[in-house]
Amino acid sequence: MPLWGSKSFQDSYYWVGEYLSFFHEGVMCLIVFILSFVLYVVFWVLKTGSSFRFFQEAQAVETIWTVIPSLCLVGVGLPSMHLLYLMDEIGSPSFSFKAIGHQWYWSYEFMGNEADVLGFDSFMVEGTESGYRLLDVDQRMVAPSNMGIRCMVSSEDVIHSFAVPGCMLKVDAIPGRINEIPMTVSMSGILYGQCSEICGANHSFMPIVIEFIPPKIFNRWHSVIKSIEGVKVL
Ligand SMILES: [Cu+2]
């Protein structure tokens, strides 16, 4: 989660997210380099401009300023496309869950052990005693760590957005449509997120909390989930 003094993205616990931050840093370096180079050339031409007044043609310069920018674009485009496809690649997930946006809370649904669909609502808890202010919920979603997970996102009313910056994940929750996204979180822990699409008066009060636990403990949780208060068989 973000802490005081954080200047960039949060650390990602999903390798595609790490790749995304790395790509972002690379592109930022390229942009800063291009900006300084262009500014340098602009000032250099302003300073020594009079000597270029009768310039007719310069094949070498034209070739360079066509080829180098094209190479830069290809260098940005290829990893960008690769990332786009990686974020779409579901593979064969070991666990799937559905996150449904409501005004103003999230609810989760998943398959129980007896092939029945289980679900619960996840409301924000007030106060700071139980956790982080405006970020903790009464019933957290639980998912296995180190395993392929498919997250399906939809909405019951208006457009919401399911965002978990800890794995660089942000998917729009659109009524009548299911958006899928894969994730594999490499360690156990709790990831926090918030709705990221202005959805009404209490948009800021519908946090997302996913607790990633080792698969063994997850199986135990999965077998007792029915007895937990608030969990319904759908
Ligand atoms: Cu929302």
Per-residue pLDDT tens for 192-221? Answer: 999 999 998 999 999 999 999 999 998 888
Whole-number Å distance between alpha carbons of 122 and 106: 5
Residue 105 Cα to ligand 1 midpoint, Å, equals 7
Residue 159 Cα to ligand 1 midpoint, Å, equals 7
Residue 107 Cα to ligand 1 midpoint, Å, equals 12
Q: What rounded mean pLDDT belongs to the chain? A: 89
Are residue 50 and residue 122 in the same domain, yes or no?
A: no
The domain total for the chain is: 2
Residue 231 Cα to ligand 1 midpoint, Å, equals 22
Whole-number Å distance between alpha carbons of 46 and 59: 22
Predicted pLDDT of residue 30: 95
Residue 103 Cα to ligand 1 midpoint, Å, equals 6
How much of the chain, in percent, has pLDDT values that exceed 90? 50
Angle between helical axes of 59-86 and 15-48 (0-180°, round to 10): 160
Residue 192 Cα to ligand 1 midpoint, Å, equals 15
Are residue 115 and residue 181 in the same domain, yes or no?
A: yes
Are residue 59 and residue 124 in the same domain, yes or no?
A: no
Predicted pLDDT of residue 113: 76
Are residue 118 and residue 164 in the same domain, yes or no?
A: yes
Residues contacting 8, CB < 8 A, separation 6+: 21, 25
Which residue, 36, 57, 86, sits at the end of a domain?
Answer: 86
More confident call, 160 vs 221 = 160
- At 99, phi and psi to the nearest 5? -110, 120
Q: How confident is the model at residue 130 (pLDDT cuts 50, 70, 90)?
A: low
Domain containing residue 36: 15-86
Residue 158 Cα to ligand 1 midpoint, Å, equals 8
Strands laid side by side in the 232-233 sheet: 179-183, 149-155, 95-102, 105-111, 117-122, 232-233
Predicted pLDDT of residue 129: 67
Q: What is the pTM of this model?
A: 0.82
Residue 160 Cα to ligand 1 midpoint, Å, equals 4
Residue 157 Cα to ligand 1 midpoint, Å, equals 10
Residue 164 Cα to ligand 1 midpoint, Å, equals 13
Any idea of the CA torsion for 71, 73, 74, 75, to the nearest 10 degrees?
A: 80
- Stretch 78-103: mean pLDDT: 90
Reply yes or no: is the peptide bond before residue 221 cis, omega within 30 of 0.
no
Are residue 115 and residue 197 in the same domain, yes or no?
A: yes
